């Protein structure tokens, strides 16, 4: 069995939580690339999901119009974020919820630990949430003697094997079915010893393992996919029903959400509830979406806390372009189409936000402390092929953001290399939307400028090791888009 | 400075630095569906999409056929006890001979767990996606726990609750909720990203669809 355990402190010593690994992307990627099993697992899973997504997106004839609406809705939210948050606070409070504010991960964790301690519970059930992964809440609860039970199947796999999530949607995407069976056999005390690796049997084992916990849980902890400012409605999108269990059965519900998850009105959800399921699991609709507003007498938790988390988001908001990274609805489509992610997996990014969006979000959330900051290497975790933009349901121009952040890193250098200059030119070209292919050509210029035909000096710590590991001269002579177009032409000619 | 004031102050400064002009939101996507609400075509499409995500669909022409359809489904599943919300039409259960537990006063979670099935109505259904929505405050749908804990859910949907698209459905719903959007039995994509049915929510889902066949 392969274990890819990359260095990440188990207790978040950084007030930002789990937004930074302990080694640079090239170093971590180098090791991941050597793991054949990991590459096979990722290749299989991402191929499956890409095909499913393409099929259900193809059914929707107004997909591009939905994407454009999603993009502008998010841009509107950013322009009115403080006012919308105050409105959300008022709506939630009016419906019996209690709103808390957290400057950083540490503060959010402290708030949640205190709230759980007030209930006297020593165990909580959790539905998968990127926000609490980000803050390292489970470790904080553990330090306070409170057991946090992850209930999402993939999170459970990660938790049982003392691993780290490597994908937004399927944190255990790096595990195949037989590895999952082995983990269950080893870690679930009452599991059937004849458990097979049939996915249905594995799902049943998870059901049996968690059932009693759900039915007796007193405190549930969740994230939020969306929060509607004018009605105070919170929404959680899920598949297994573990979310419904956590949101419905406990007496107390604590929801932790990043401040950017807000949408102005209920009807705006009509855009996102179409974009999200088709982009993430490749389904017309995910099995379960729950929405609730404050406390409903006689139904569900009678105490509801909403924790609004900044943790660097205000840094990101201050950048006119960079704030696009806050538009992300965590569908993971950009991960699934990324040729780099597909080969390295999520752990190599260090931060709990992997893939193309992680590469532009994490460094902005933490800020870059200097050339040795491991997050400074993340904007280089890309071939700039543009597939992430095409897949993104809210049209985040990730390639543009990547180039921009590389350029920002370059500005810190005293003597620019040929590649630096090309990167800056590319950033300028990409400032105008629609000129991306021109920018791609400029990046290739960097290749011409390189003295030996190989790029020897790439800004960003250890980047050369990354390129070395991939054993190819980047940027490629042919961009991904050109390659794709050529491949499509060849395929058409053949049929 | 409280955390609230500090976060809001930071966000205000950042927003002003990054730009505070709101773009107009283009609403060029379809806000009315391709199939008329309640039409035979919408009902037929819902049948297809529900079936595609492994719900078993039972079509009946009129309300009179509902009791027979419910009883047949429960018999097939071997359900000897069911829970129903207090406002479920009593006529729907006239052909069922098992034990009926009405959720009023509320049953305990342990009682729900010891009940074979739940029968509810639905607020609205979306043909394009194979979804129905339960409104916890509707008398024939009931609080969320009753349609969650039993392992088998039978939902009765009338044609007039069927719309084509997500925007049409949201327009009919009250955001004060609680609402549960259900699209097939519980499932997971967490093992190699393939969909497998049957995790924590009801593993069996039957939909009795009342309307033009
Ligand atoms: S950046 Fe776009 S594609 Fe990537 S996870 Fe976020 S919303 Fe999805």
Q: Is A126 helix (H, G, I), strand (E, B) or coil?
A: strand
Q: Is A459 helix (H, G, I), strand (E, B) or coil?
A: coil
CB contact under 8 A, B15 and A199: no
Give the pLDDT score at A493: 54
CA angle A137, A139, A144 (to 5 degrees): 95
Nearest Cα neighbor of A377 from A469, A266, A439, A245 is A469
Q: Is A329 helix (H, G, I), strand (E, B) or coil?
A: coil
Among A7-21, A73-87, A157-171, B170-184, the range scoring the smallest mean pLDDT is A7-21
Tally of CB atoms within 10 A around A419: 24
Kindly give the distance from the C-alpha atom of residue B167 to the centroid of ligand 1, in angstroms, as a whole number.
22
Nearest chain B residue to A176 by CA distance is B192
Strand order in the sheet with A98-102: A98-102, A303-309, A252-258, A219-222, A123-126, A147-150
pTM value is 0.87
Give the pLDDT band (50/70/90) at residue A262: very high
Nearest chain A residue to B14 by CA distance is A318
Q: Is B9 helix (H, G, I), strand (E, B) or coil?
A: helix
Give the pLDDT score at A294: 97
Residues on chain A touching B151 (C-beta within 8 angstroms): none
How far A280 CA lies from chain B's nearest CA (Å)? 10
Task: Give CA–CA dist A231/A227, Å, rounded.
Answer: 9
pLDDT digits (tens, 9 = 90+) for B139-186: 999 999 999 999 999 999 999 999 999 999 999 999 998 999 999 888
Identify which of B11, B53, B186 has the shortest CB distance to residue A240: B186
Nearest chain A residue to B185 by CA distance is A287
Nearest Cα neighbor of A233 from A293, A147, A305 is A293
pLDDT digits (tens, 9 = 90+) for B96-115: 999 999 999 999 999 999 99
How far B78 CA lies from chain A's nearest CA (Å)? 20
pLDDT digits (tens, 9 = 90+) for B73-99: 999 999 999 999 999 999 999 999 999
Task: Give CA–CA dist B53/B185, Å, rounded.
Answer: 8
A vs B: CB pairs below 8 A: 273
The single residue listed with the structure tokens 């050597």 is A34
Contact assessment for residue B132 and residue B53, using Cβ atoms and an 8 Å cutoff: no
The larger pLDDT score, comparing residue B123 to residue A348, is at B123
How far B173 CA lies from chain A's nearest CA (Å)? 9
CA angle A361, A103, A154 (to 5 degrees): 55
Residue A116 scores a pLDDT above 90: yes
Residues on chain A touching B30 (C-beta within 8 angstroms): 62, 65
Tally of CB atoms within 10 A around A245: 26
Give the pLDDT score at A457: 36
Q: What would the two tokens of residue B67 be?
A: 């009791």
Q: Is B110 helix (H, G, I), strand (E, B) or coil?
A: helix
Task: Give CA–CA dist A80/A90, Å, rounded.
Answer: 16
User: Exposed, middle or buried by CB within 10 Å (0-12, 13-18, 19+), for A214?
Assistant: buried
Give the pLDDT score at A155: 87
DSSP string for A391-456: H-TT---HHHHHHHHHHHHHHT-SS--HHHHHHHHHHHHHTSTT-HHHHHHHHHHHHHHSTTSS--
Residue A464 scores a pLDDT above 90: no
Q: What would the two tokens of residue A457 be?
A: 């000096």
A332 lines ligand 1 (CB under 6 A): yes
Give the pLDDT score at A492: 55
Q: Is the peptide bond before A475 cis (omega within 30 degrees of 0)?
A: yes
As a dihedral over the C-alpha atoms of residue A244, residue A249, residue A252, residue A256, rounded to 10 degrees, the angle is -10
Give the pLDDT band (50/70/90) at residue A420: low
Q: Where are the domains of chain A?
A: 25-314, 418-494
Taking residues A343-355, report their average pLDDT: 89
Give the pLDDT score at A486: 54
Residue A404 scores a pLDDT above 60: yes
- Mean pLDDT of chain B, nearest integer: 95
Among A170-174, A267-271, A437-441, B186-190, the range scoring the smallest mean pLDDT is A437-441
Contact assessment for residue B171 and residue B177, using Cβ atoms and an 8 Å cutoff: no
Give the pLDDT band (50/70/90) at residue A463: very low
Q: Is the peptide bond before B178 cis (omega within 30 degrees of 0)?
A: yes
Q: Is B188 helix (H, G, I), strand (E, B) or coil?
A: strand
Task: Give CA–CA dist A47/A485, Å, rounded.
Answer: 19
Name residues whose C-beta falls within 8 Å of residue B126's C-beta, 6 or more positions apart in sequence: A285, B46, B132, B133, B163, B164, B165, B166, B168, B169
Q: Considering only CA atoms, which residue is closest to atom 8 of ligand 1?
A: A331
Domains assigned to chain B: 37-210 (3.40.50.10420)
Give the pLDDT score at A409: 66
CB contact under 8 A, B194 and A48: yes
Task: Give CA–CA dist A115/A124, Å, rounded.
Answer: 11
Q: Which of A268, A285, A300, A364 to mutate to test the interface with B (most CBs of B within 10 A)?
A: A285
Give the pLDDT score at A359: 93
Q: What would the two tokens of residue A446 be?
A: 């960097």
The larger pLDDT score, comparing residue A297 to residue A8, is at A297
Bridge partners, residue A260, by sequence: none
For the CA of A333, the closest atom of ligand 1 is 3
The larger pLDDT score, comparing residue A78 to residue A24, is at A78
Bridge partners, residue B58, by sequence: B208
Share of chain A above pLDDT 90, in %: 55
Q: Ligand 1: which of A393, A400, A401, A402 to mutate, most ligand atoms within 8 Å of CB?
A: A393
Q: Ligand 1: which of A352, A354, A394 to mutate, most ligand atoms within 8 Å of CB?
A: A394
How far is CA A485 from each of CA A50, A334, A430, A480, rounded to the nearest angstrom? 18, 19, 21, 8
Kindly give the distance from the C-alpha atom of residue A68 to the centroid of ligand 1, in angstroms, as a whole number.
14
CB contact under 8 A, B193 and A173: yes
Give the pLDDT score at A166: 82
Residue A101 sits at the chain B interface (C-beta within 8 Å): yes
Task: Give CA–CA dist B66/B208, Å, rounded.
Answer: 7
Q: Taking the CA atoms of chain A, what radius of gyration do you get in angstroms? A: 22
Residue A488 scores a pLDDT above 60: no
Taking residues A207-228, report their average pLDDT: 94
- Mean pLDDT of chain A, nearest integer: 83
Residues on chain A touching B8 (C-beta within 8 angstroms): 82, 85-86, 101
Residue B127 scores a pLDDT above 60: yes
Taking residues B60-71, report their average pLDDT: 97
Instruction: Give exposure, A167-206, as e/b (b: 16+ Cβ within 10 Å).
Output: bbbbbbbbbbbebbbebbeeebeebeeebeeebebbbbbb
Instruction: Give exposure, A61-77, as e/b (b: 16+ Cβ within 10 Å).
Output: eebebbbbbbbbbbbbb
Contact assessment for residue B53 and residue B183, using Cβ atoms and an 8 Å cutoff: yes
Tally of CB atoms within 10 A around A22: 12
Q: What would the two tokens of residue B66 be?
A: 């509902």
Identify which of B26, B177, B187 has the shortest CB distance to residue A287: B187
Q: Indicate the length of chain A as a whole number.
A: 495
Share of chain A above pLDDT 70, in %: 80
Q: Ligand 1: which of A57, A279, A333, A395 to mutate, most ligand atoms within 8 Å of CB?
A: A333
Give the pLDDT score at B6: 97
Q: Indicate the length of chain B as a whole number.
A: 213
The larger pLDDT score, comparing residue A385 to residue A459, is at A385
Identify which of A81, A202, A271 has the shortest CB distance to residue B191: A202
User: Exposed, middle or buried by CB within 10 Å (0-12, 13-18, 19+), for A145?
Assistant: exposed
The larger pLDDT score, comparing residue A367 to residue A230, is at A230
Nearest Cα neighbor of A165 from B190, B199, B189 is B190
Q: What would the two tokens of residue B75 be?
A: 């018999």
Taking residues A124-137, report their average pLDDT: 94
Q: Taking the CA atoms of chain B, what radius of gyration do you get in angstroms? A: 21
ipTM of the complex: 0.96
Taking residues A346-369, report their average pLDDT: 90
A70 lines ligand 1 (CB under 6 A): no
Q: Provide CATH code, domain A25-314.
A: 3.40.50.10420
Q: What would the two tokens of residue B140 be?
A: 């024939």
For the CA of A168, the closest atom of ligand 1 is 5
User: Exposed, middle or buried by CB within 10 Å (0-12, 13-18, 19+), for B111?
Assistant: middle
Give the pLDDT score at A238: 93
């Amino acid at each position: 069995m392969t274990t890819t355990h990359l260095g990440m402190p188990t207790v978040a010593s950084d007030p930002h939580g789990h937004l930074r690994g302990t080694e640079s992307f090239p170093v971590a990627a180098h090791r991941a690339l050597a793991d054949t099993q990991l590459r096979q697992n990722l290749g299989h899973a991402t191929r499956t999901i890409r095909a499913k997504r393409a099929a259900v997106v193809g059914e929707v004839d107004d997909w591009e119009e939905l994407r454009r609406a999603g993009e502008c809705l998010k841009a509107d939210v950013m322009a009115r974020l403080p006012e919308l948050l105050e409105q959300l606070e008022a709506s939630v409070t009016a419906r019996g919820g209690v709103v808390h504010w957290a400057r950083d991960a540490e503060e959010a964790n402290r708030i949640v630990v205190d709230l759980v301690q007030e209930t006297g519970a020593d165990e909580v059930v959790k539905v998968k949430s990127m926000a609490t992964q980000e803050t390292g809440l489970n470790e904080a609860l553990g330090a306070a003697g409170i057991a946090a039970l992850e209930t999402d199947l993939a999170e459970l796999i990660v938790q049982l094997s003392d691993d780290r999530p490597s994908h937004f949607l399927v944190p255990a995407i790096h595990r195949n079915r037989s590895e999952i069976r082995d983990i269950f056999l080893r870690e679930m005390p009452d599991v059937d010893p004849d458990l097979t690796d049939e996915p249905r049997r594995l799902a049943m084992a998870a059901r049996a393992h968690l059932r009693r916990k759900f039915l007796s849980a007193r405190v549930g902890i969740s994230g939020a996919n969306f929060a509607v400012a004018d009605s105070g409605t919170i929404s959680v999108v899920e598949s297994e029903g573990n979310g419904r269990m956590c949101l419905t059965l406990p007496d107390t519900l604590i929801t932790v959400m990043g401040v950017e998850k807000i949408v102005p009105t209920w009807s705006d959800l009509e855009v996102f509830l179409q974009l999200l399921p088709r982009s993430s699991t490749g389904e017309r609709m995910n099995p379960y979406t729950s929405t609730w507003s404050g406390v409903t007498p006689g139904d569900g938790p009678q105490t509801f806390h909403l924790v609004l988390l900044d943790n660097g988001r205000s840094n990101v908001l201050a950048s006119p372009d960079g704030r696009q990274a806050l538009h992300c609805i965590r569908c993971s489509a950009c991960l699934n189409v990324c040729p780099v992610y597909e080969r390295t997996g999520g752990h190599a990014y260090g931060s709990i936000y992997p893939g193309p969006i992680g590469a532009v979000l994490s460094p902005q959330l933490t800020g870059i402390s200097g050339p040795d900051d491991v997050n400074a290497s993340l904007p280089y975790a890309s071939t700039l092929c543009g597939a992430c933009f095409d897949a993104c349901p809210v049209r985040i121009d990730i390639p543009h953001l990547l180039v921009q952040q590389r350029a920002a890193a370059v500005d810190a250098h005293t003597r620019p290399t040929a590649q630096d200059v090309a990167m800056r030119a590319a950033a300028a070209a990409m400032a105008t939307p629609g000129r991306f292919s021109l920018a791609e050509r400029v990046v290739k210029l960097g290749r011409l400028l390189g003295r030996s035909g190989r790029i020897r000096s790439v800004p960003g710590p250890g980047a050369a090791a990354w390129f070395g590991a991939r054993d190819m001269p980047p940027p490629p002579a042919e961009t991904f888009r050109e390659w794709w177009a050529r491949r499509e032409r060849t395929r058409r000619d053949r049929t | 400075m409280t955390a609230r004031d500090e976060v809001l102050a930071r966000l205000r400064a950042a927003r002003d630095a990054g730009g505070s002009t709101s773009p107009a939101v283009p609403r060029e996507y379809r806000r009315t569906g391709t199939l008329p609400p309640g039409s035979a075509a919408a009902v037929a499409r819902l049948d297809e999409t529900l079936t595609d995500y492994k719900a078993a669909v039972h079509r009946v022409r009129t309300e009179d056929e509902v009791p027979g359809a419910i009883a047949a489904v429960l018999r097939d599943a071997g359900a000897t006890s069911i829970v129903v919300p207090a406002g479920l039409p009593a006529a729907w259960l006239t052909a069922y001979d098992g034990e009926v537990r009405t959720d009023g006063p509320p049953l305990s979670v342990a009682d729900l767990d010891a009940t074979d099935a739940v029968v509810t109505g639905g607020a609205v259904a979306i043909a394009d996606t194979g979804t129905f929505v339960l409104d916890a405050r509707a008398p024939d749908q009931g609080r969320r726990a009753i349609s969650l804990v039993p392992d088998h859910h039978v939902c009765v949907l009338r044609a007039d609750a069927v719309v084509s698209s997500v925007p049409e459905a949201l327009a009919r719903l009250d955001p004060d909720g609680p609402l549960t959007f259900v699209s097939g039995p519980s499932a997971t994509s967490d093992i190699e990203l393939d969909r497998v049915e049957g995790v924590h929510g009801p593993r069996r889902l039957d939909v009795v669809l009342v309307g033009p066949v």
